[in-house]
Structure 1
Amino acid sequence: MNRILRYALFALLWAAVAAYVLYAGASARRARAARSVARLEIAIVDSTSQGQLVTSRQVRGWIARSGIRTVGAPVDGVDLAGIEQLIACNGFVAKVAAYVSYDGALHVVIRQRKPLLRLLTNGRNAYVTDRGYVFAAPRASSLYVPVVTGPYRPPFPADYAGDAREAIDAELRKLDERIAGLEREKYPFYKRELKNDRNIADLRRMRIKQQWWRLETDSMFQLRVDRLKAHKEQLRRGYRYEARLIAEGIDRISERQEAERRAQKKLEKSYEDFMKLLTFVEYVEEDDFWRSEVVQIVARTTSSGALEVDLVPRSGRFLIRFGRLERLDEKFGKLQRFYRSGLPAVGWETYGVIDVRYGNQVVCRKK
């Protein structure tokens, strides 16, 4: 068989394969278009013993109220993107995928976020993940996660939903813009300063000479010198006053800039404390004893802006003053030793407050 014939046969074979594929695809599309959605199946993955943030029944209700056609609708007519967008707008949904299988079932697969704690502080009711993602607590949700209460002020608005770091960065950008805007307010003062400096330089160059060609006497020349000195002194006082006004104006703007920079530092410190709180909760959750013993975390922001916490234990009717979220091993270690050796000896109902904020000691206060 010559080469040309062999190539021709290969070309015909591939043409036949391509034609079959196109025919099969067209047949499948026609068959799909003729089918309608037979059923709606909701799958919520990542559900644990903590519970669920959303149920299949709730999702069905969302879809029904949205008006998007599902069961009975043509397979090709289902708004899959609309369903995904409808569900994804809820902050507790990490990922969602909607698709129709070959048997006509509409599948909606939801991957929910895994909260680390629940914030019930300062008007907030939100869950927070271990990476600092914040979302509003869904209605009727009841996950078994640590609860943080108290007057603590997190570094984001009460209604914020999203990554806490993004909220901080957005606020920092606003502060940077304000600082830059204040810097631009200095430009007129800089122009006045340059003009004033030129005037002072011109003042220093002001000289007069005795006019011998006009037969000017020494007394007449001295009179002109005295007048010039008086004029220069008057100008000098005006220029000094102008320089003081310029410096005061620039200083006032600089003070406002420093206030914005202090706000930036305070915001970063607040975010740092917020992440320390997440680390603290993880620390408690990783310890079997403290996970079951700590019922509630009461957080507060001190007058200096620092974050301190108190712990409400399951055992006894006392409050544990834990203080700042530092030296965790040391504080929990001495608290556990006091649990084992101190409290059984004096009685679990003796003290109202147990304070572990101070080094190498546990300070107790009776009820």
Structure 2
Amino acid sequence: MKKYIRYALLALLWGAVAAYILYAGATARSLRAGRKVSRVEIEVVDSSSAGYLVSGRMVRGWISHSGIPTSGTAVDDVPLTAIEELIAKNGFVDRVDAYVSYSGVLHIDISQRKPLLRLLTDGMDSYVTPEGYVFAAPRASSLYVPVVTGTYRPPFPASYAGPVRGHIDAGIAALDKRIAELEREKYPFYKRELQNDRNISALRRMRIKKQWWRLESSAEFDKRVDELRRHKVEMRRKYRYEARMIQEGIDRIVQRQEAERAKQKKLEKSYEDFMKLLTFVEFIEDDDFWRSEVVQIAARTTSSGALEVELVPRSGRHTILFGRIEQVERKFEKLLRFYRSGLQNIGWDAYRTIDVRYNDQVVCKK
């Protein structure tokens, strides 16, 4: 009997706890439903000494112009998803979280992207992250990162925002589709080729027998043989011409396909050069001396499509002709030795250009 009483008491206790939880939840929902947003707090959680791309003032302006209700709105009616989508559509925003606290404060936490460099080339003004994500530089941004200038043509248009690899993959996929379309253009030629081969085979099988039942004479038979020979000669000429026209048509399509494949290779090569440029800038940024010494990077695309860079140093008035982004460590080591053993004795303003493009030598011009 005592056992049943104990179970009953436990059941009543847990029932009371459950009732209290339901009551507290309902009360909290009731209080929250009547509460309104009192203020908006915006925090850029990863702003640094390098500067900022997005500020609280900018975000408030976006929300104000969008017409999304915030202050004075019931906390349950605040469109948090719409706020997050509004802010996230800016390419320089990496992540955004919007939520309303129990006290009625709308919190918006923003994580901005961390650019590695700024591209000011070929009519472009964009930031690029180390992973290869590119986005247009905001007008009100203030961020200190290396600047790449010059006539370099990156593998994406000035209006593009997003991962560069994604743009390259989309371009290659479009070219693959075009190559497949061109392959289908060969089908009519293949049908003509098959029919032409059948005609040639039929021509080879053509024979003449003497019509003995008609008492055909040898002269009449020889005449028919000559006619058949002339016919075969004429038809062979026609079929050879047809075969040549078919092959020329196929070859023209193959050439167009090869041109599309060459575009694919060019896209991949331009992407490789672009990633080399990012790695090159990272190398400079990771070295204390070169980070302070190199004040500008000028990149250009040569007539062959290769990427070459020139460096403007802080010391002296010369320009460093670095060339292609290859053997980077060796070139910088060679340049550093020349700085220490040469320019310190000769003078930092002695030369107009310092060329490190050649193996085991530094070529200077006044």
Alignment-derived partner of residue 236 in structure 1: 236
Letter in 2 for 1:335: L
CA distance in 2, matches of 1:302, 1:232: 58
Residue deviations 1:104-151 (CA, integer Å, cap 9, x gap): 111000000000000000011000000000011011212110000001
| Range with bigger deviation, 2-11 or 204-213 | 2-11
Letter in 1 for 2:64: A
| Range with bigger deviation, 60-69 or 296-305 | 60-69
CA distance in 2, matches of 1:3, 1:82: 57
Residue deviations 1:295-329 (CA, integer Å, cap 9, x gap): 01100111111110000111111110000001011
CA distance in 2, matches of 1:262, 1:11: 78
Does 2:163 match 1:159? no
- The equivalences for 1:97-246 within 5 A come to 97-246=97-246
Q: Which runs of 5+ in 2 are unaligned?
A: none
CA distance in 1, matches of 2:5, 2:174: 74
Q: Which runs of 5+ in 1 are unaligned?
A: none
Letter in 1 for 2:306: A
* Deviation, structure 1 residue 100: 0.7
| Range with bigger deviation, 284-293 or 74-83 | 74-83
Residue deviations 1:39-86 (CA, integer Å, cap 9, x gap): 111110111111111111111111122212222211111111111111
- The equivalences for 1:64-79 within 5 A come to 64-79=64-79
* Deviation, structure 1 residue 16: 3.5
* Deviation, structure 1 residue 185: 0.6
Q: If the length of structure 1 is used for normalisation, what is the TM-score? A: 0.97
Alignment-derived partner of residue 46 in structure 2: 46
Does 2:269 match 1:274? no
| Range with bigger deviation, 217-226 or 112-121 | 217-226
| Range with bigger deviation, 254-263 or 66-75 | 66-75
Alignment-derived partner of residue 250 in structure 2: 250
Letter in 1 for 2:245: L
Residue deviations 1:167-216 (CA, integer Å, cap 9, x gap): 00000010001000000111100110111011011011101111112111
CA distance in 2, matches of 1:62, 1:246: 62
CA distance in 1, matches of 2:321, 2:140: 32
CA distance in 2, matches of 1:338, 1:175: 47
Letter in 1 for 2:73: A
Shift of the 219–47 alpha-carbon distance from structure 1 to 2, 3 Å rule, reads: same
Shift of the 6–226 alpha-carbon distance from structure 1 to 2, 3 Å rule, reads: farther
Residue deviations 1:266-319 (CA, integer Å, cap 9, x gap): 100000000000000000000000000000110011111111000011111111
Letter in 2 for 1:30: S
CA distance in 1, matches of 2:4, 2:219: 123
CA distance in 1, matches of 2:169, 2:8: 65
CA distance in 2, matches of 1:107, 1:326: 48
Residue deviations 1:12-53 (CA, integer Å, cap 9, x gap): 544443333222211111100111111111110111111111
CA distance in 2, matches of 1:294, 1:28: 59
Count how many residue pairs are aligned between Structure 1 and Structure 2: 366
Identity across matched positions, percent:
70
Letter in 2 for 1:106: L
SS of residue paired to 2:340: helix
Alignment-derived partner of residue 344 in structure 1: 344
Does 2:319 match 1:319? yes
Letter in 1 for 2:272: E
CA distance in 2, matches of 1:227, 1:68: 91
SS of residue paired to 2:116: strand
SS of residue paired to 1:296: strand
CA distance in 1, matches of 2:345, 2:129: 40
Alignment-derived partner of residue 259 in structure 1: 259
Alignment-derived partner of residue 296 in structure 2: 296
Q: If the length of structure 2 is used for normalisation, what is the TM-score? A: 0.97
Shift of the 363–7 alpha-carbon distance from structure 1 to 2, 3 Å rule, reads: same
